[in-house]
Amino acid sequence: MSDFYKEVCMCCGQQTLKKRFSFKTTDTYICKNSCIFSVPKINTNKLYTPEYFKNYYEELVNEQTKMHQKVIPFLKKYLKTGSVLDYGCGIGTFLLNLEKESFKNNVGIDVSEYSISIAESKSSMSNFSTNRDFLETKKFDCISFIDSVAHIEDINNLLSKLIKDNLIENGIVLIRTPNINSLYVWYARVIGYFLPKRFLGSLFFVPNRLFLFNKKSIELFLEKHGLMIEEYYIEPEYKKISSNFSNGNYIKSMLVDFFRITIPSILNKNNSITLIARLKK
Ligand SMILES: [Zn+2]
Protein backbone atom coordinates (compact mmCIF):
# COMPACT_ATOMS: atom_id res chain seq x y z
CA MET A 1 0.00 0.00 0.00
CA SER A 2 1.37 3.43 -0.86
CA ASP A 3 2.18 5.88 1.94
CA PHE A 4 -0.48 8.22 0.64
CA TYR A 5 -3.29 6.04 2.03
CA LYS A 6 -1.69 6.16 5.46
CA GLU A 7 -2.09 9.94 5.64
CA VAL A 8 -4.79 11.30 7.88
CA CYS A 9 -7.78 13.22 6.55
CA MET A 10 -7.55 16.85 7.67
CA CYS A 11 -11.34 17.01 8.04
CA CYS A 12 -12.48 13.88 9.89
CA GLY A 13 -9.06 13.00 11.31
CA GLN A 14 -9.33 9.38 10.17
CA GLN A 15 -6.97 7.34 8.01
CA THR A 16 -9.50 7.10 5.21
CA LEU A 17 -8.01 8.89 2.18
CA LYS A 18 -9.02 7.38 -1.14
CA LYS A 19 -8.03 9.81 -3.88
CA ARG A 20 -5.49 12.56 -4.51
CA PHE A 21 -5.52 15.12 -7.33
CA SER A 22 -2.56 17.32 -8.00
CA PHE A 23 -3.28 20.82 -9.33
CA LYS A 24 -0.95 23.72 -10.02
CA THR A 25 -1.99 25.52 -6.83
CA THR A 26 -3.02 22.66 -4.50
CA ASP A 27 -2.99 18.95 -3.78
CA THR A 28 -6.61 17.96 -3.26
CA TYR A 29 -7.73 14.87 -1.35
CA ILE A 30 -11.01 13.00 -1.06
CA CYS A 31 -11.65 10.70 1.87
CA LYS A 32 -14.01 7.75 2.29
CA ASN A 33 -16.15 9.82 4.63
CA SER A 34 -16.73 12.20 1.69
CA CYS A 35 -14.50 14.95 3.08
CA ILE A 36 -12.60 17.03 0.52
CA PHE A 37 -9.59 19.09 1.49
CA SER A 38 -6.76 20.85 -0.32
CA VAL A 39 -3.22 21.52 0.74
CA PRO A 40 -2.12 24.75 -0.98
CA LYS A 41 1.19 25.10 -2.79
CA ILE A 42 0.87 28.89 -2.74
CA ASN A 43 0.44 31.57 -0.09
CA THR A 44 -3.37 31.70 -0.01
CA ASN A 45 -3.43 34.98 1.97
CA LYS A 46 -2.34 36.67 -1.25
CA LEU A 47 -5.66 35.67 -2.88
CA TYR A 48 -7.58 38.05 -0.63
CA THR A 49 -6.88 41.29 -2.42
CA PRO A 50 -9.02 44.48 -2.29
CA GLU A 51 -10.43 43.31 -5.64
CA TYR A 52 -11.64 40.08 -4.01
CA PHE A 53 -13.50 41.98 -1.28
CA LYS A 54 -14.98 44.37 -3.83
CA ASN A 55 -16.38 41.50 -5.92
CA TYR A 56 -17.50 39.11 -3.19
CA TYR A 57 -18.46 41.48 -0.38
CA GLU A 58 -18.96 45.13 -1.31
CA GLU A 59 -21.06 44.39 -4.36
CA LEU A 60 -23.09 41.75 -2.53
CA VAL A 61 -23.98 43.60 0.69
CA ASN A 62 -27.74 43.43 -0.03
CA GLU A 63 -27.66 39.72 -0.87
CA GLN A 64 -25.56 39.04 2.22
CA THR A 65 -27.91 41.00 4.44
CA LYS A 66 -30.81 38.96 3.08
CA MET A 67 -28.89 35.77 3.90
CA HIS A 68 -28.19 37.15 7.42
CA GLN A 69 -31.91 37.75 7.91
CA LYS A 70 -32.26 33.97 8.04
CA VAL A 71 -29.02 33.24 9.90
CA ILE A 72 -29.64 35.74 12.73
CA PRO A 73 -33.10 34.41 13.79
CA PHE A 74 -31.56 30.92 13.62
CA LEU A 75 -28.80 32.05 16.02
CA LYS A 76 -31.31 33.86 18.27
CA LYS A 77 -33.12 30.58 18.90
CA TYR A 78 -30.04 29.65 20.95
CA LEU A 79 -28.67 33.06 21.96
CA LYS A 80 -31.03 36.02 22.43
CA THR A 81 -28.20 38.50 22.81
CA GLY A 82 -24.50 38.55 23.72
CA SER A 83 -21.12 38.90 22.09
CA VAL A 84 -19.97 37.37 18.82
CA LEU A 85 -16.51 36.74 17.43
CA ASP A 86 -16.92 36.64 13.64
CA TYR A 87 -13.89 34.92 12.18
CA GLY A 88 -13.33 35.77 8.52
CA CYS A 89 -15.60 38.78 8.91
CA GLY A 90 -14.87 40.33 5.49
CA ILE A 91 -16.13 43.93 5.49
CA GLY A 92 -18.04 43.32 8.73
CA THR A 93 -21.59 43.09 7.36
CA PHE A 94 -22.62 40.20 9.62
CA LEU A 95 -21.54 42.02 12.79
CA LEU A 96 -23.19 45.23 11.61
CA ASN A 97 -26.44 43.32 11.18
CA LEU A 98 -26.00 41.69 14.61
CA GLU A 99 -25.46 45.11 16.22
CA LYS A 100 -28.98 46.04 15.11
CA GLU A 101 -30.18 43.05 17.14
CA SER A 102 -28.30 44.33 20.21
CA PHE A 103 -25.37 41.94 20.08
CA LYS A 104 -22.53 43.89 21.72
CA ASN A 105 -18.77 43.70 22.38
CA ASN A 106 -18.28 41.82 19.13
CA VAL A 107 -14.97 41.32 17.35
CA GLY A 108 -14.33 40.62 13.67
CA ILE A 109 -11.09 39.12 12.38
CA ASP A 110 -9.99 38.89 8.76
CA VAL A 111 -6.70 38.58 6.85
CA SER A 112 -7.21 41.73 4.81
CA GLU A 113 -6.20 45.23 6.00
CA TYR A 114 -8.47 46.57 3.27
CA SER A 115 -11.63 44.75 4.41
CA ILE A 116 -10.93 45.47 8.09
CA SER A 117 -10.57 49.20 7.36
CA ILE A 118 -14.01 49.18 5.70
CA ALA A 119 -15.53 47.26 8.62
CA GLU A 120 -14.02 49.74 11.10
CA SER A 121 -15.35 52.74 9.19
CA LYS A 122 -18.91 51.36 9.32
CA SER A 123 -19.14 50.19 12.91
CA SER A 124 -18.86 52.03 16.19
CA MET A 125 -19.88 49.10 18.36
CA SER A 126 -17.62 46.25 17.23
CA ASN A 127 -13.83 45.94 17.07
CA PHE A 128 -11.96 44.61 14.08
CA SER A 129 -8.44 43.35 13.53
CA THR A 130 -6.24 41.43 11.14
CA ASN A 131 -4.24 40.08 14.06
CA ARG A 132 -5.40 36.96 15.89
CA ASP A 133 -3.41 38.02 18.96
CA PHE A 134 -5.89 40.86 19.35
CA LEU A 135 -8.30 38.28 20.82
CA GLU A 136 -6.01 37.41 23.76
CA THR A 137 -8.29 35.59 26.21
CA LYS A 138 -11.44 37.61 25.49
CA LYS A 139 -14.49 35.37 25.82
CA PHE A 140 -17.49 35.36 23.48
CA ASP A 141 -20.96 33.82 23.66
CA CYS A 142 -20.68 32.78 20.03
CA ILE A 143 -17.91 32.23 17.50
CA SER A 144 -19.14 32.47 13.93
CA PHE A 145 -17.62 31.48 10.60
CA ILE A 146 -19.86 32.81 7.84
CA ASP A 147 -18.50 31.27 4.65
CA SER A 148 -14.97 31.38 6.02
CA VAL A 149 -14.17 27.89 7.39
CA ALA A 150 -13.42 26.61 3.88
CA HIS A 151 -10.79 29.32 3.34
CA ILE A 152 -8.72 28.94 6.52
CA GLU A 153 -5.61 26.83 5.98
CA ASP A 154 -4.93 26.05 9.65
CA ILE A 155 -8.60 25.70 10.61
CA ASN A 156 -7.90 22.68 12.84
CA ASN A 157 -5.39 24.49 15.09
CA LEU A 158 -7.36 27.69 14.96
CA LEU A 159 -10.70 26.16 15.92
CA SER A 160 -9.13 24.26 18.86
CA LYS A 161 -7.46 27.43 20.08
CA LEU A 162 -10.55 29.63 19.74
CA ILE A 163 -12.75 27.11 21.55
CA LYS A 164 -10.21 26.82 24.36
CA ASP A 165 -9.32 30.50 24.77
CA ASN A 166 -12.25 32.53 23.46
CA LEU A 167 -15.55 30.67 23.87
CA ILE A 168 -17.57 30.84 27.10
CA GLU A 169 -18.64 27.60 28.72
CA ASN A 170 -21.55 26.15 26.76
CA GLY A 171 -20.96 28.80 24.05
CA ILE A 172 -22.16 28.47 20.51
CA VAL A 173 -20.28 27.86 17.28
CA LEU A 174 -22.14 29.07 14.20
CA ILE A 175 -20.90 27.90 10.80
CA ARG A 176 -22.12 28.56 7.31
CA THR A 177 -20.19 26.85 4.53
CA PRO A 178 -20.67 25.15 1.13
CA ASN A 179 -22.53 21.83 1.21
CA ILE A 180 -21.10 19.48 -1.41
CA ASN A 181 -23.13 16.32 -2.03
CA SER A 182 -21.77 13.03 -3.37
CA LEU A 183 -23.54 13.43 -6.73
CA TYR A 184 -21.58 16.67 -7.26
CA VAL A 185 -18.28 14.97 -6.38
CA TRP A 186 -19.09 12.09 -8.73
CA TYR A 187 -19.87 14.60 -11.51
CA ALA A 188 -16.67 16.57 -10.89
CA ARG A 189 -14.61 13.40 -11.15
CA VAL A 190 -16.33 12.31 -14.39
CA ILE A 191 -15.75 15.78 -15.85
CA GLY A 192 -12.14 15.49 -14.72
CA TYR A 193 -11.68 12.52 -17.07
CA PHE A 194 -13.07 14.24 -20.14
CA LEU A 195 -12.25 17.92 -19.84
CA PRO A 196 -9.00 19.76 -19.10
CA LYS A 197 -7.85 19.50 -15.50
CA ARG A 198 -8.65 23.13 -14.74
CA PHE A 199 -12.36 22.19 -14.88
CA LEU A 200 -11.93 19.73 -12.06
CA GLY A 201 -9.92 22.32 -10.13
CA SER A 202 -12.64 24.88 -10.65
CA LEU A 203 -15.36 22.43 -9.54
CA PHE A 204 -13.34 21.82 -6.37
CA PHE A 205 -13.00 25.63 -5.95
CA VAL A 206 -9.21 25.51 -5.66
CA PRO A 207 -7.22 27.33 -4.46
CA ASN A 208 -9.74 29.50 -2.51
CA ARG A 209 -11.80 26.89 -0.70
CA LEU A 210 -9.57 24.38 1.03
CA PHE A 211 -12.22 22.42 2.95
CA LEU A 212 -15.45 21.19 1.38
CA PHE A 213 -18.00 19.47 3.56
CA ASN A 214 -21.42 17.90 3.53
CA LYS A 215 -23.62 17.12 6.54
CA LYS A 216 -21.80 13.88 7.30
CA SER A 217 -18.23 15.12 6.92
CA ILE A 218 -18.76 18.37 8.84
CA GLU A 219 -20.29 16.34 11.63
CA LEU A 220 -17.10 14.24 11.79
CA PHE A 221 -14.91 17.37 11.59
CA LEU A 222 -16.79 19.02 14.47
CA GLU A 223 -16.81 15.82 16.50
CA LYS A 224 -13.01 15.79 16.24
CA HIS A 225 -13.09 19.19 17.97
CA GLY A 226 -15.51 17.98 20.65
CA LEU A 227 -18.48 19.79 19.06
CA MET A 228 -21.94 18.44 18.37
CA ILE A 229 -24.42 19.86 15.88
CA GLU A 230 -27.59 21.12 17.58
CA GLU A 231 -29.45 22.14 14.45
CA TYR A 232 -28.75 22.88 10.79
CA TYR A 233 -30.41 23.89 7.55
CA ILE A 234 -29.38 23.61 3.93
CA GLU A 235 -30.37 25.99 1.15
CA PRO A 236 -29.15 27.22 -2.25
CA GLU A 237 -26.19 29.63 -1.99
CA TYR A 238 -27.21 33.28 -2.51
CA LYS A 239 -24.39 34.14 -4.87
CA LYS A 240 -24.09 32.60 -8.28
CA ILE A 241 -20.77 31.39 -9.64
CA SER A 242 -19.48 33.97 -12.08
CA SER A 243 -19.41 32.87 -15.68
CA ASN A 244 -16.09 34.41 -16.68
CA PHE A 245 -14.09 31.20 -16.85
CA SER A 246 -13.70 31.22 -20.62
CA ASN A 247 -12.68 34.20 -22.69
CA GLY A 248 -13.35 32.29 -25.89
CA ASN A 249 -16.22 32.74 -28.27
CA TYR A 250 -19.90 32.85 -27.33
CA ILE A 251 -20.74 29.20 -28.05
CA LYS A 252 -17.65 27.99 -26.23
CA SER A 253 -18.52 30.16 -23.21
CA MET A 254 -22.09 28.79 -23.20
CA LEU A 255 -20.79 25.24 -23.22
CA VAL A 256 -18.27 25.93 -20.48
CA ASP A 257 -20.99 27.52 -18.29
CA PHE A 258 -23.27 24.55 -18.95
CA PHE A 259 -20.75 22.03 -17.64
CA ARG A 260 -19.31 24.22 -14.92
CA ILE A 261 -22.37 26.03 -13.58
CA THR A 262 -25.72 24.73 -14.91
CA ILE A 263 -25.29 20.98 -14.33
CA PRO A 264 -23.62 21.34 -10.89
CA SER A 265 -26.40 23.68 -9.73
CA ILE A 266 -28.99 21.04 -10.68
CA LEU A 267 -27.08 18.15 -9.07
CA ASN A 268 -26.26 20.07 -5.90
CA LYS A 269 -29.12 22.53 -5.47
CA ASN A 270 -28.89 23.08 -1.70
CA ASN A 271 -25.21 23.93 -1.82
CA SER A 272 -24.93 25.75 1.48
CA ILE A 273 -25.20 24.46 5.06
CA THR A 274 -25.73 26.60 8.18
CA LEU A 275 -25.36 25.01 11.59
CA ILE A 276 -25.19 25.62 15.32
CA ALA A 277 -22.81 23.45 17.34
CA ARG A 278 -21.89 23.21 21.01
CA LEU A 279 -19.19 21.44 23.01
CA LYS A 280 -20.26 17.95 24.02
CA LYS A 281 -20.83 17.66 27.74
ZN1 LIG B 1 -12.30 12.56 6.08
Q: How far apart are CA 258 and CA 254, in angstroms?
A: 6
- Is 98 a member of any domain? yes
Of 112-126, 213-227, 239-253, the range with the lowest mean pLDDT is: 239-253
- The whole-number average pLDDT for the span 8-18 is 95
For residue 248, what pLDDT band results from cuts at 50, 70 and 90? low
250 has a pLDDT exceeding 90: no
pLDDT (0 to 100) of residue 242: 63
- Is 41 a member of any domain? no
- Is 184 a member of any domain? yes
Of 20-29, 68-77, 191-200, the range with the lowest mean pLDDT is: 191-200
Q: What is the pLDDT of residues 16-55, one digit of tens each?
A: 999 999 999 999 999 999 899 999 999 999 999 999 999 8
- The count of domains in the chain is 1
Residue 34 Cα to ligand 1 midpoint, Å, equals: 6
Residue 7 Cα to ligand 1 midpoint, Å, equals: 11
Residue 112 Cα to ligand 1 midpoint, Å, equals: 30
- Is 260 a member of any domain? no
Residue 17 Cα to ligand 1 midpoint, Å, equals: 7
Give this prediction's pTM.
0.94
pLDDT (0 to 100) of residue 238: 84
- Is 218 a member of any domain? yes
pLDDT (0 to 100) of residue 254: 84
Residue 44 Cα to ligand 1 midpoint, Å, equals: 22
Residue 100 Cα to ligand 1 midpoint, Å, equals: 38
Residue 109 Cα to ligand 1 midpoint, Å, equals: 27
- Yes or no: say if 84 and 141 are a contact pair by the CB < 8 Å rule: yes
By residue range, what is the domain housing residue 233? 46-207+214-241+270-279
Residue 101 Cα to ligand 1 midpoint, Å, equals: 37
Percent of the chain surpassing pLDDT 90: 80
For residue 223, what pLDDT band results from cuts at 50, 70 and 90? very high
- The whole-number average pLDDT for the span 80-101 is 97
For residue 167, what pLDDT band results from cuts at 50, 70 and 90? very high
- What CATH number is attached to the domain comprising 143? 3.40.50.150
- Is 262 a member of any domain? no
258 has a pLDDT exceeding 80: yes
CA 51 to chain centre: 19
- Is 116 a member of any domain? yes
- The whole-number average pLDDT for the span 50-68 is 92
260 has a pLDDT exceeding 90: no
Q: Which residue has the higher pLDDT, 82 or 196?
A: 82
**Mean pLDDT over the full length of the chain:** 93
245 has a pLDDT exceeding 80: no
Q: What is the pLDDT of residues 132-162, one digit of tens each?
A: 999 999 999 999 999 999 999 999 999 999 9
For residue 243, what pLDDT band results from cuts at 50, 70 and 90? low
Residue 144 Cα to ligand 1 midpoint, Å, equals: 22
pLDDT (0 to 100) of residue 249: 76
Q: How far apart are CA 167 and CA 153, in angstroms?
A: 21
- Is 23 a member of any domain? no
Residue 95 Cα to ligand 1 midpoint, Å, equals: 32
